Structure 1
């Protein structure tokens, strides 16, 4: 229904930010109950899967961005069940990128660190949050607007993002990405030169 309403109102779907997620209760895997694990799977994995599935038929020449987590590749005691769902999202993202590439649909994910939201406050107390922040380069945890900026960049169809997608098991991607990055930098330099010339005129 939500997808149909979007098409009715805007005429098309350009991008999807798949952000369904819950933290659950952080505890060791050995004492995590099946019902708790199933609840995480239901929202974090199945919720994201069905959101993407419903949007794919009407999404063309666009982008999908999946909100995963740093725990998909890192380790934090007590976050095993949650991290398992986020690792699964990473695997799903890589496969989707290959499958949807021929439709010119870019698929990526972001892996935020600790983001201070009301949902996180239910799991992470201020003392623990401060300890986590002390291990980051900027000595602070993330905010919602930090993720929003990255998401906007990843979903926008412009000279810098129009080619960015996951290419699994393809060494050529390294050289292609380097070439595109070089062209993007050249574009930015020319744009800056034009701006400087206009300001001097």
Structure 2
């Protein structure tokens, strides 16, 4: 069955890898981006070459109207919504909390917490059976930082992902009776652009060898777990966390 999946932050990294795996299954995707339209257009082209239809839309998840428009694009374009990958997130340069200013923390929390909650709300509004939806699956992209705490680097980011974990548990219970499963993946050290955006482009190469599996992970490896949680193969799984971290 063809599914329609919304992926926030879908132009690069884990979001892009997930979109491509969706496309290979013949699923429709609606992916959001914030600043890099060129990367989004490339992902769109790659998805369509892989066999799936893809719509791209600029969306700042911290802006309610942007998120509402993103979901409207999915419904208007494909008529239905089967899954949401709540993936958009940001990190800042490594700092102990004593040096963090309010602007940094506000930006992290606006995107990673408020944005994630707005996305989850809109997903619920479109998928719950009591409002005419057909059910579906939400996959929250958290982080191992929620368990490890991010000391001396980004306790703000870690805390924002801890909030996402709490949301996953609560919404799995709230939305389960409505036919919507809610799960999360917690990536560890993964080779993506997020490290460069946080000022440490070599972070994955530096820390990967210290994982029990001896290397950093790849975005595609996280995407495989996300796809399984979106798929009907995981139909009895909700409120679960998959640590894709090489044992870290």
Matches within 5 A, 1:112-123: 112-122=187-197, 123=199
Match of 2:164 in 1: 89
Q: Quote the offset at 1:51 in angstroms.
A: 1.0
Match of 1:61 in 2: 135
Query: Tell me, what secondary structure is at the counterpart of 1:73?
Result: helix
Q: Quote the offset at 1:79 in angstroms.
A: 1.8
The normalised TM-score by structure 2 is 0.63
Does residue 1:106 correspond to 2:106, yes or no? no
- Structure 2: stretches of 5+ with no match in the other structure: 1-68, 128-133, 241-248
Which has the larger share of helix? Answer: 1
Match of 1:124 in 2: 200
Paired residues of 2:93 and 2:200 also in contact (CA < 8 A): no
Query: Tell me, what secondary structure is at the counterpart of 1:107?
Result: strand
| CA distance in 1: counterparts of 2:119 and 2:205, whole angstroms | 34
| CA distance in 2: counterparts of 1:151 and 1:23, whole angstroms | 21
| CA distance in 1: counterparts of 2:91 and 2:178, whole angstroms | 33
| CA distance in 1: counterparts of 2:105 and 2:159, whole angstroms | 9
Q: Could you tell me which of 8, 13, 18 is aligned with 2:81?
A: 13
| CA distance in 1: counterparts of 2:122 and 2:144, whole angstroms | 26
Q: Could you tell me which of 201, 219, 231 is aligned with 1:156?
A: 231
Q: Could you tell me which of 96, 100, 104 is aligned with 1:32?
A: 100
Kindly tell me the number of residue pairs found equivalent between the two proteins: 164
Does residue 1:50 correspond to 2:126, yes or no? no
Note the alpha carbon deviations across 1:41-92, whole angstroms, 9 max, x for none: 0111111111111221111321000000001011433121110100011011
Match of 2:42 in 1: none
Q: Quote the offset at 1:115 in angstroms.
A: 1.5
Runs of 4+ in 1 over 6 A off after TM superposition: none
Paired residues of 2:123 and 2:138 also in contact (CA < 8 A): no
Paired residues of 1:62 and 1:157 also in contact (CA < 8 A): no
Larger deviation, residues 74-83 vs 146-155: 74-83
Alpha-carbon spacing, 1:54–1:75, altered in 2? closer, same or farther (3 Å): closer
- Structure 1: stretches of 5+ with no match in the other structure: 168-201
Q: Quote the offset at 1:125 in angstroms.
A: 4.0
Does residue 1:144 correspond to 2:219, yes or no? yes
Note the alpha carbon deviations across 1:143-197, whole angstroms, 9 max, x for none: 2111111110111013xx0010018xxxxxxxxxxxxxxxxxxxxxxxxxxxxxx
